[in-house]
Structure formats: C-alpha cells, structure tokens
Amino acid sequence: MSQEPKQLRREPGQMSQEPKHVRRGLPTLPSLVVGTVSHTRRIPLRHAFTHRQYQWLVDVDDLPRHGWPLRALTRIEARDHLDEGRLGGGIRGDVERFLARRGVPLGAEDRVVMLANARVLGHVFDPLTVFWCLAPDDSLRACIFEVHNTYGERHAYLLDVDAAGRARTDKAFYVSPFNDTSGEYAVGLRLGPDRVSVTVGLDRDGERVLTATTTGVPLPATDAAVARTAARHLLMTWRVSALIRAHGIRLWARRLPIRPRRPHTQEYVR
C-alpha cells in the first residue's frame, strides 16, 4: 500500500463523515457554464490574461446524451478522469473508491456533481475538474479537486471545504514548468443556480504567486444551447491546449526559469 499524500489538515480517518453544510439549490443538470478563465501571475514577473470559455456541469450518473453531430462535442468519459474507470463503475466508481481510501463513505443516494470539459472532436484537456459529492439534501459530503498537466499526468486532492466554500491544501503536483511542488493552494468554490466559480491561489512563503479563476453562468444544456455555445467557442478544448502552450512560450521568452519535473504516480488518483 502506497503512502497517502499529505493534503488535509486532519488525517483522513478523522475527517467528518457527516454532511458539512447545505447548499442553496443547484442549477439544472446537465448545464453549460459559460464565462471566462483568468490567470494572474504576480512573481517573479507579472503576466495576466482572460479568455472566454465554457465548461460542463453534470451529474456523473446522468452524463450528456446528445445525438449526432452534437455527440462529437459533448462526450465526457471515465478515461479522462481519476483512475480512468479501471475497476468499473465509471466516474462514480472511481470517486467512491477514492473517497473510501480516505475514510469518507459515499452513499447510494448521494450525488456527484462534476465541473469539467467534454471531448470536442475527440480531444480534451481539462486543467481542473471539481467533484462536489452531495447528500440527498444537497449538503456537502466531500469535494475532490483533480488537476491535470500537459505531460499526461493528474493528481486529485480531497479538500476540507468550510461553509463559505473555502479550503487550503499543500501543493503536491507539478502543473506548470515554471512552478515546482512547493507552496499551498487557497481554493474558493461556488456552486449555485446562478453562478459557478472556482478560484485557486498559489501561496509560497507568505506571498501570493498566482491566482487562477474560472467563473460562469450555468445554462441548461439543450441541443440549441450546445450548438450555439460551441459555435461561439470554436474547438474549445483544442483552444485550451493551444493557449496554455502559447502563454508558456511567452513566459519562457521572458526568461522565467523552468523547474525540473519528476514523473508522478497514479496512486494519488486512486
């Protein structure tokens, strides 16, 4: 058995198994969360951008089921998340096993709501996926924060979220070639019928290194809404991959130092 990562302020066995706080309603699921992604790097040099984007907000037990040709823009697959559905049960099965290993049970009536990108013409890159695990009364049982890098690796954090939607966790995964694994994430989450947002700040030695925010308005994922949104955000996931590399090249050209990377074990998503 591999050693579990140090992620929480409490040991997994000490984590409360009761719902933490009640949320004030959810959007219609599945929804398209249409808005922006912004990123501000503060040190050692300043670099900022904002881009339009959309993501999917879904119940993992009721994934989008659109006919052709929209199916080519809306596929959400287990192979793109956590343990790739390796042991069965799809995305939900992976979530259940991930939580169980950390001492958090997921009941049969609990829902798993996921904020993620779908495959677009066969391609997906999902810098960040968030899983809200909700009791039948929509109170929060657990929150999983899954981070992907451009090297084909992923890491999942079990967040200890307070009633205001805030959490902190040690950084344990190499994401950007310009940051090592030192520091701490300060996370802010909002899941509501009128707004869905995720803010992640990286703090190191008491100083904010960077802040990234995705925010948007959830819209029911009707065929018309999907077609309209996809037309306004052409090749969404392809653009995500291209923009990440373009901004990386700009930072490299400005002589921001590259940090060495070590291969990452899959044990942290199981």
Residue 186 CB-density burial (10 A; 0-12 exposed, 13-18 middle, 19+ buried): middle
Within-domain flag for 190: no
Residue 59 token pair: 């119940």
Within-domain flag for 47: no
pLDDT in tens, the chain (270 residues): 333 433 443 333 334 444 556 555 899 999 999 999 999 999 989 999 999 999 999 999 999 999 999 999 999 999 999 999 999 999 999 999 999 999 999 999 999 999 999 999 999 999 999 999 999 999 999 999 999 998 999 999 999 999 999 999 999 999 988 888 999 999 999 999 999 999 999 999 999 999 999 999 999 999 999 999 999 999 999 989 998 888 889 888 988 888 988 888 877 898
SS3 content of the chain, % helix, strand, coil (to 5): 20, 35, 45
Within-domain flag for 235: yes
Within-domain flag for 195: no
Within-domain flag for 154: yes
Give the residue numbers spanning the domain of 83. Answer: 19-36+53-166+219-251
d(CA 132, CA 128): 13
Indicate the number of domains in the chain.
1
Strands 207-220 and 128-134: unpaired
Within-domain flag for 229: yes
Within-domain flag for 68: yes
Q: Are 188 and 130 within 8 A, CB to CB?
A: no
Among candidate residues 120, 138, 147, 67, the one with its CA nearest the CA of residue 240: 120
Within-domain flag for 181: no
